[in-house]
């Protein structure tokens, strides 16, 4: 973040707070407990940053922010929080199952949990005397006060995301979560919603996986992008970002329809128009941010339709801290000779494009253009 980018801005403020932190450190062996908490906070930071920007570690809480342009609407922030909690809870399960150490710290890992508070507002970003980014302003104060809330006392979940109403602008009207209100001195009544993150993680673990692998695919192509999966994901699923590169795939427009919960996830669909191949309906069968999503593609009536029905997986794999491999794997559902021949017409064109060094150039260019909004121009450390 260059000095010219600092100053007053509108954006998102997020704190990820490890529950049970104080009791864990004071009631167990310090050396082991400190190492465990350090590993968990590094995991939280690496999951959130980018697309969020790291401000600082405040004891048991990771404090981050993002420019307003980083998320077109609050649903993407909710999705990021859900994915971070899923990774955190999975790491806790792995630690609990794999450890052979019988010290108090290792036996108490299961008592840790994670909660989030998120707010949207105006704040000033500046650099301290050591060159690190710091934030100030009333909305920053409010975001921190939101950690001291009455959600659990009111019967809410212990692992939660508390999103103020200001965070959830432009979300689909079907997207609803339980409402919650807090009142703090010097601030008006703060209203928002609460997401039960443990329930979200449980559903994600239990839901059926639908994924086309390279071994099963009739077509498998990909390219590298200089950005982490959480950033690249947005350019696959957000209409305003996808339109900036999808012309490479002859796509002229895409209209997303959310699922019954108002989310772009399993059960949602999209209608794509193409200059070549006709229109297509995509139905989302599996949704695993920021790993992959799988769709059923059905050709729609058009003047010229050379598409075939297929199942496709769009997958993202981290190559290192700031690079992602994107792959598109496709398997036809109609295996008749006629349909396979029709599919091969498109597949041959795609393979030829994928063999060129310019394949994926439009995605890379769009992400590079937006690098500052995600903090991609800052060193990772």
Could you give the CA distance from residue 95 to residue 21 in angstroms, rounded to a whole number? 16
Which residue numbers in the chain have pLDDT < 50? Answer: 4
In a domain, 85, yes or no: yes
Beta strands 179-182 and 160-164 are unpaired
In a domain, 379, yes or no: no
User: Which domain range does residue 304 map to?
Assistant: 219-374
What pLDDT sits at residue 3?
52
Tell me, yes or no, whether 153 and 50 share the same domain. yes
What pLDDT sits at residue 311?
98
CA distances 80 to 46, 107, 264, 274, Å, are 12, 29, 13, 30
Domain stops at, among 170, 203, 236? 203
**Token pair for residue 35?**
């190492």
Ramachandran bin of 76, using left for φ above 0, alpha for ψ from -120 to 50, beta for the remaining angles: alpha
In a domain, 209, yes or no: no
What pLDDT sits at residue 33?
76
Neighbours of 98 (CB within 10 A): 8
Tell me, yes or no, whether 275 and 157 share the same domain. no
Tell me, yes or no, whether 8 and 91 share the same domain. yes
In a domain, 149, yes or no: yes
**Token pair for residue 356?**
């060129």
**Strand intervals (E) in 43-189:** 53-58, 61-67, 113-127, 133-136, 160-164, 179-182
Could you give the CA distance from residue 325 to residue 309 in angstroms, rounded to a whole number? 25
Q: What is the CATH number of the domain that holds 326?
A: 3.30.530.20
> CA-based angle 297:299:305, to the nearest 5?
140
Rounded (10°) angle between helices 74-98 and 30-48: 150
Domain stops at, among 172, 203, 234? 203
What pLDDT sits at residue 37?
85
Tell me, yes or no, whether 179 and 262 share the same domain. no
In a domain, 272, yes or no: yes
Q: How many domains does the chain have?
A: 2
CA distances 338 to 207, 216, 280, 305, 307, Å, are 34, 20, 19, 14, 12
Domain stops at, among 203, 238, 260? 203
Dump the DSSP string for 262-293: S-SSTT-EEEEEESSS--EEEEEEEEETTTEE
Q: What is the CATH number of the domain that holds 78?
A: 3.30.70.1230
pLDDT tens, position by position, 79-128 = 999 999 999 999 998 888 876 666 666 777 778 999 999 999 999 999 88
What pLDDT sits at residue 26?
66
Tell me, yes or no, whether 237 and 184 share the same domain. no
What pLDDT sits at residue 305?
66
**Token pair for residue 196?**
């039960």
What pLDDT sits at residue 207?
93
């Amino acid at each position: 973040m260059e000095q010219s980018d600092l100053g007053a801005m509108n954006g998102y403020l997020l704190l990820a707070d490890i529950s049970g932190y104080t009791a864990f450190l004071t009631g167990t062996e310090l050396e082991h407990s400190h190492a465990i908490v350090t590993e968990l906070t590094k995991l939280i930071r690496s999951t959130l940053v980018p697309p969020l920007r790291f401000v600082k570690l405040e004891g048991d809480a990771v404090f981050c922010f993002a420019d307003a342009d980083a998320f077109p609407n609050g649903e993407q922030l909710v999705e990021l929080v859900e994915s971070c909690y899923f990774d955190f809870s999975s790491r806790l399960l792995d630690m609990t199952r794999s450890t052979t150490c019988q010290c108090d710290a290792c036996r108490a890992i299961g008592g840790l949990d994670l909660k989030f508070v998120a707010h949207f507002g105006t704040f000033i970003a500046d650099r301290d005397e050591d060159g690190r980014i710091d934030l100030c302003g009333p909305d920053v104060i409010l975001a921190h006060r939101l950690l001291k809330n009455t959600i659990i006392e009111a019967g809410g979940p212990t692992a939660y995301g508390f999103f103020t109403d200001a965070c959830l602008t432009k979300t689909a009207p079907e997207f609803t979560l339980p409402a919650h209100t807090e009142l703090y001195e010097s601030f008006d009544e703060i209203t928002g919603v609460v997401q039960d993150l443990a329930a979200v993680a449980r559903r994600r673990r239990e839901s059926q996986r639908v994924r086309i692998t390279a071994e099963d695919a009739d077509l498998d192509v990909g390219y590298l992008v200089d950005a982490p999966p959480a950033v690249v994901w947005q350019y696959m699923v957000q209409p305003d970002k996808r339109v900036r590169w999808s012309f490479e795939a002859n796509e002229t427009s895409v209209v997303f329809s959310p699922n019954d919960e108002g989310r772009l996830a399993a059960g949602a669909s999209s209608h794509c128009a193409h200059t070549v191949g006709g229109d297509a309906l995509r139905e989302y069968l599996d949704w695993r941010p920021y790993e992959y999503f799988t769709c059923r593609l059905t050709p729609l009536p058009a003047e010229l339709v050379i598409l075939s029905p297929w199942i496709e997986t769009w997958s993202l794999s981290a190559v290192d801290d700031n690079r992602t491999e994107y792959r598109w794997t496709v398997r036809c559902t109609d295996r008749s000779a006629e349909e396979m021949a029709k599919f091969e017409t498109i597949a041959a064109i795609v393979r030829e494009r994928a063999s060129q060094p310019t394949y994926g150039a439009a995605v890379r260019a769009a992400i590079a253009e937006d690098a500052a909004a995600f903090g991609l121009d800052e060193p990772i450390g």
